[in-house]
Amino acid sequence: MRTIPNARIWHPDGWKDGTRLDVDAHGRIARNSYGGTTQQRVVPGIANLHSHAFQRAMAGMAERQTHPSDSFWTWRETMYRFAERFTPETLHAVAAQLYTEMLAAGYTTVCEFHYLHHAPDGRPYANPATMSQALIQAAHDTGIRLTLLPVLYMSGGFDGRPLGERQKRFGHDVDGYLRLLDTLRREHGNDMVRIGCALHSLRAVPEAAMREVLAALPGDSRIHIHIAEQSGEVDECIAVRGARPVQWLLDNAEVDARWTLVHATHLDDAEVRGIADSGATVAICPTTEANLGDGLFRLRDYLDAGGRWGIGSDSHISVSPVEELRWLEYGQRLVTRRRNIAVTESSPSVGDTLVAGVQASATDSSGHAIGHLGKGEFADALVLDVADPQFAGVRDEDALDRWIFAGNRNLVRETWVGGRCVVEHGLHFHADAIAAHYRAEVERMMAE
């Protein structure tokens, strides 16, 4: 039995003094011991609910104007051209680099929304799971907990038009997609890897295909979907299906706590209440949504409705849970011209409310027993660097606010996944070798 040493561990009801976590052979917490005092502060590891790993390599490469009305749709063309260059080896190298960065920043679980399935010309690899296995190997090599979400991507729009040339490596028919899920569940499901399902979006998955796939999934499968990210998507859904996308989904699928709705940026009042009442999680990706000009999620209304939410780094123009949480709050301040928006009646601290939010949704969205550092959960934890000047004179009531709002240094000193320390003094144990592989692969790719 391994042990995480004594620390002050954060829970929604306060900091627990002198907590020692005893961890079993599966990385789960077998016993919590209390007693004594310590200055070391530990928070639960954070789940990254939305990731497109390959896009890490193009971060900062789509910031030149290509059209006077640049938007998500023009950015998407740049992304498609970039995606054409990826091989399985490149994907592994980029994902491994990304995952080391996530672990060092405080993400201990990643939900990988994976649609880069086939060769660039759209033909499946001899092993159709080749690209999925590259991601699984990258997670294994770095020690991050993974929920792999292979994506069903079938059509180019709500009108059912076929995929464009640049989209062909993403596509599956229903039978091929279900075979991929079955193969991955059979060969790779374990304590560190869960296999879920991702429907790319309502525009990319016809209604009949959605129903067939949902009927075939295991009862505990996690289901993620992009939805209502763009106002144009909302308009097209109304024109073709006669309803706004979130409302259509709520009316046509049994949306519950297994579901994660990614972005859900453009909602009306009924949709805000409907998602909250369903028990689903919204994955909000503030830095990517800002980078793409998507808009702002209706956070205060959603919190008032009792909705569940988490964060994702999506296109990875930032790999920092602190920045995602900070800008989730700051976006609300800018649009309302008020301060301290994400609070509750029981907690006036924005930091506490934000960390409690990502903690509460982690298990249902990822499928892993994580988020609370309680008995039976996986021992995924962050040790904060309380020796940093940012924490000078820190008190319980302001510790998380200081972590999130007081500076730009990474204040995660250690990262533990399943009771195993993978980041020490802010550095992943294999960072240098993984970075060298990443540089070689990206330089080769860009030279082609």
Geometric angle at alpha carbon 62, from 57 and 63, rounded to 5°? 125
| CATH topology assigned to domain 46-366 | TIM Barrel (3.20.20)
Integer-rounded Cα radius of gyration of the chain: 21
pLDDT for position 36: 62
Tell me how far apart the alpha carbons of residues 134 and 166 are, in angstroms, rounded to a whole number.
21
Take residue 424 and report the two structure tokens written for it.
């020490």
Q: Which two structure tokens, joined as six digits, stand for 290?
A: 């800002």
In the chain, list all ranges with CATH 3.20.20.140.
Answer: 46-366
Report the amino acid identity of residue 258: R
CB–CB of 29/4 below 8 Å? no
Q: Please, which residues bridge with residue 310 across strands?
A: 283
* Residue range(s) in the chain whose domain bears CATH number 2.30.40.10: 2-44+375-433
DSSP letter assigned to residue 161: P
- pLDDT at position 68: 87
In CATH terms, 2-44+375-433 corresponds, of 2.30.40.10, 3.40.50.300, 3.30.70.120, 3.40.605.10, to 2.30.40.10
Neighbours of 219 (CB within 10 A): 5
Contact 246, 167 (CB under 8 A): no
Q: What gap in Å lies between CA 312 and CA 226, rounded to an integer?
A: 12
Give bridge partners of residue 263 from the DSSP assignment.
227
Cα 308 from Cα 257, distance rounded (Å) = 9
For the annotated catalytic residues, the residue numbers are 263, 314
Q: Which residues of the chain have pLDDT under 50?
A: none
Long-range contacts formed by 129-135: CB under 8 A, 24+ apart = 129/180, 129/183, 129/184, 129/187, 130/88, 131/88, 131/91, 132/180, 132/184, 133/88, 133/188, 134/88, 134/89, 134/91, 134/92, 134/95, 135/53, 135/91, 135/92, 135/95
Pairing assessment for the beta strands 412-417 and 145-152 based on DSSP bridges: unpaired
Strands (DSSP E) along 145-209, which ranges?
145-152, 193-195, 197-199
- Across-strand partners of 113? 149
Q: Burial letters for 157-179: b for 16+ Cβ neighbours within 10 Å, e otherwise?
A: ebeeeebeebbbbbbbebeebbe
Measure CA of the first residue to CA of the last residue in the chain; give whole Å: 50
User: What stretch of H or E contains 139?
Assistant: helix 130-142
Quote the DSSP letter at residue 226.
E
Q: Write out the H or E segment, with its range, that includes residue 232.
A: helix 231-241
Which amino acid type is present at position 130?
Answer: T
DSSP-derived pairing of the beta strands 381-384 and 41-44: antiparallel
Strands 223-227, 259-263: pairing is: parallel
pLDDT confidence of residue 7? 83
The Cα 189–Cα 4 span in angstroms is 26
List the beta strands (DSSP E) in 116-157. Answer: 145-152
Look at the pTM and tell me if it is higher than 0.95: yes
